[in-house]
Chains A and B, each alone.
Chain A
Amino acid sequence: MSIEGPRGGPGPGLQVSASERARRGTEGADGTRAEGREAERGEGGPASERARRGAGVPADREIDRLERLLGRLLFAGVVTSASFLGAGVVLWMLGRRDGFSAALLHSGLILLMATPVARVIVSFVEYVRARDWFFAMTTLGVLGVLLATVLVAIRTALGG
C-alpha cells in the first residue's frame, strides 16, 4: 500500500492532477486526516472519494455509521425473537403444550437465526452504497455460504 501522498508531494517537475493527488492522499492515511483534507479542498463528496479508492479504508465516521446501524438491527432482532421465545416457553411451562406455544417457540428460533443473516445483508447493501467493492464481494461470499447452509438444511429435512 502506498503511503506516498500530499506529505511527500509530487516529484520534481511532475504535474499531478488534483483528483490523482486526492486519491493518493487518502490511501494509507487514517480516515480522520483524509476527512480533514477533503474539507479543506471542499470538492467531491465522501462517496466519490471512496469510489476512487476501491478497497481502501472508509472514513471512521462511515465505520461508525455501519456499526451503529448493525447494532440497532441486532438489538431489534434479539428483542423480537426473545419476546416470542419468552411467551412460548412461559405458555409451555404453564401446561399449554399445543400448536400455539410451539408456533411461538419456532417463530422465535427462526427469527433468532435470521437476525445475523439480516446483518450480513445490511452490510452488503451498505458496502455497495459506499462502492467498497472488495467488502461488498466479501459479504456476498458470506451470504452465499449461508444460502448453502439453508439449502442443506432443507434437503436434510426433506430427506428425513
Chain B
Amino acid sequence: MSNLVVLGVAGMGALAGALGATLGIGGGVFLVPFLRQVLGLPAAVASGISLTTVIATSSVVSAGKSGRQLINIRLGMLLEIATTIGGLTGGIAAQVLSDRTLDLLFGVVTALIALVMLGRLERRNVILDPAADPGWLGGRFHEEESGGEVVYRVRRLPIGLLVSWVAGSISGLLGVGGGILKVPVLNAWCGVPLRAAAATSAFMIGVTAVSAAPIYYAQGKIIPPIAAAAVLGVLAGSRAGLRFGETARAKWLKLLMAAVLLVVSAITLARMP
C-alpha cells in the first residue's frame, strides 16, 4: 500500500467529512463508495474503515454543537438503545455477507433515502410559539437564520425507535452513520426540526458505530494506516462542514443531500460485482 493511497484517502476523507458534517449524516456515505469503488477494497473493509470515521465525525460535530441546545440528548439516548442493537447485529452480519449483497444493499438504501428527502422538501414540522410545551422528550433552540426560538415536541416515538433500529443495522452492515435514515424520519414523522434532528443524529452515530466497529477491528477489517488517514481527513473536513452547515438553508441542505445520494447509489449499483 503506497503513501499516495494514504494521502488520497486523507483527501477524500476531508471532502466526505465536510459533506457529512454539513448534512448531519457523517462522512461514511461518501467514503464507503470511494474506498469500495475507487480503491477496490472489499465491502467489509470499506465499511470498517468508514465506521472509524463515523465515530470521529460524531465526536467532533457533537463537541462543536454542544452548549447550543441543538442536540436533544435525552431523545438521542433513548434512540441509541435501538441503534446499538441494530449495529451489533449488523456488524455480525457484515462479516458473513458477500460483497455483492453488501453493494446491493448500499445502492438500494442510498437511493431510497434520496427519494424520501426529495418527497419532503417543503415540510417544516416546527412549533414557532416559544411558550409551547416541548413535552418530556422535545426541545427548544435558538435558530440563527430566522432569529427566533424553535420549540418542538417529539411525536410518534415508536416510529423513531423502529427507524433507529433499522438505521443502526444499516450502519453496522454498511459502515455509514445511519443518519441518512434517521434525519429525514425524525424530521418528517417525529416532528423534530431538521437542524435538531441532524445534530441529535450526529451525536448518536458515534455510539451506533461503536456497537459494530470493534467486531470489524477484531476481524482485521480496519487497516490501521488507511483508517488513520481517513479519520484525520474526516476530522479536518467536518470542522469546515460544521461552519457551512450553520449558514446553509435547510431546503438547500435537503436538496444537496438527495442529489449526492442519488449519484452515489447509481455508481454503486452500476458497478456491482
Name the B residues within 8 Å of A92 (CB-CB): 6, 224-225, 228
Query: Which listed segment binds A: B22-30, B88-96, B99-107?
Result: B88-96
Query: Which listed segment binds A: B118-126, B129-137, B176-184, B241-249?
Result: B129-137
Check A149–B56 contact: CB distance below 8 A: no
CB distance from B235 to the nearest CB of A (A): 6
**Dominant SS at the A interface?**
helix
Q: List 14 A-B contacts (CB under 8 A).
A: A63-B69, A68-B66, A68-B67, A89-B6, A89-B232, A105-B228, A112-B55, A119-B206, A138-B77, A145-B88, A149-B91, A153-B214, A157-B218, A157-B219
How many pairs of residues, A versus B, come closer than 8 Å at their CB atoms? 177
Other-chain contact of A113, B84, B217, B225, B232 (Cβ < 8 Å): B217
- Is A16 close to B, CB under 8 A? no
Other-chain contact of B229, A77, A78, A89, A139 (Cβ < 8 Å): A89
Check A85–B228 contact: CB distance below 8 A: yes
Taking A30-B133, A70-B73 as given, write out 17 further A-B residue pairs in contact, using a Cβ cutoff of 8 Å, ordered by the A residue number: A63-B74, A64-B69, A67-B66, A71-B66, A74-B62, A88-B225, A89-B6, A106-B224, A109-B217, A112-B52, A113-B214, A116-B59, A116-B207, A123-B73, A142-B84, A145-B211, A156-B218
Given contacts A112-B231, A142-B84, A153-B217, contact A77 B59 (CB under 8 A): yes
Name the B residues within 8 Å of A75 (CB-CB): 59-60, 63
Other-chain contact of A86, B84, B207, B210, B228 (Cβ < 8 Å): B228
Name the B residues within 8 Å of A113 (CB-CB): 52, 55, 210, 213-214, 217
Mask of A119-149 contacts with B, CB within 8 angstroms, 1/0: 1100100000000000100110110011011
Bound CA span A10–B89, Å: 52
Bound CA span A120–B71, Å: 15
Given contacts A67-B73, A88-B225, A135-B74, contact A116 B210 (CB under 8 A): yes
- Is A28 close to B, CB under 8 A? yes
Check A117–B63 contact: CB distance below 8 A: no
- Is A14 close to B, CB under 8 A? no
Bound CA span A138–B206, Å: 17
Interface size for chain A: under 10, 10 to 19, 20 to 34, or 35 or more residues?
35 or more
Mask of B48-83 contacts with A, CB within 8 angstroms, 1/0: 000010011011101111110101011001101100
Closest 9 CB pairs of A and B: A71-B66, A105-B224, A157-B218, A153-B214, A85-B228, A75-B63, A153-B218, A116-B206, A145-B84
- Is B87 close to A, CB under 8 A? yes
Could you tell me which residues of chain B, from 198 to 236, have a CB within 8 Å of some CB in chain A? 206-207, 209-215, 217-219, 222, 224-225, 227-229, 231-232, 235
Name the B residues within 8 Å of A63 (CB-CB): 69, 73-74
Check A105–B225 contact: CB distance below 8 A: yes
Given contacts A30-B133, A112-B52, A153-B215, contact A74 B60 (CB under 8 A): yes
Name the A residues within 8 Å of B59 (CB-CB): 74-75, 77-78, 115-116, 119
Interface residues of A (CB under 8 A from B): 1, 3, 28-30, 55-57, 60, 63-64, 66-68, 70-72, 74-75, 77-78, 81-82, 85-86, 88-89, 92-93, 102, 105-106, 108-109, 112-113, 115-117, 119-120, 123, 135, 138-139, 141-142, 145-146, 148-150, 152-154, 156-157
Bound CA span A116–B87, Å: 14
Q: Which residue of A lies closest to B211 (CB)?
A: A149
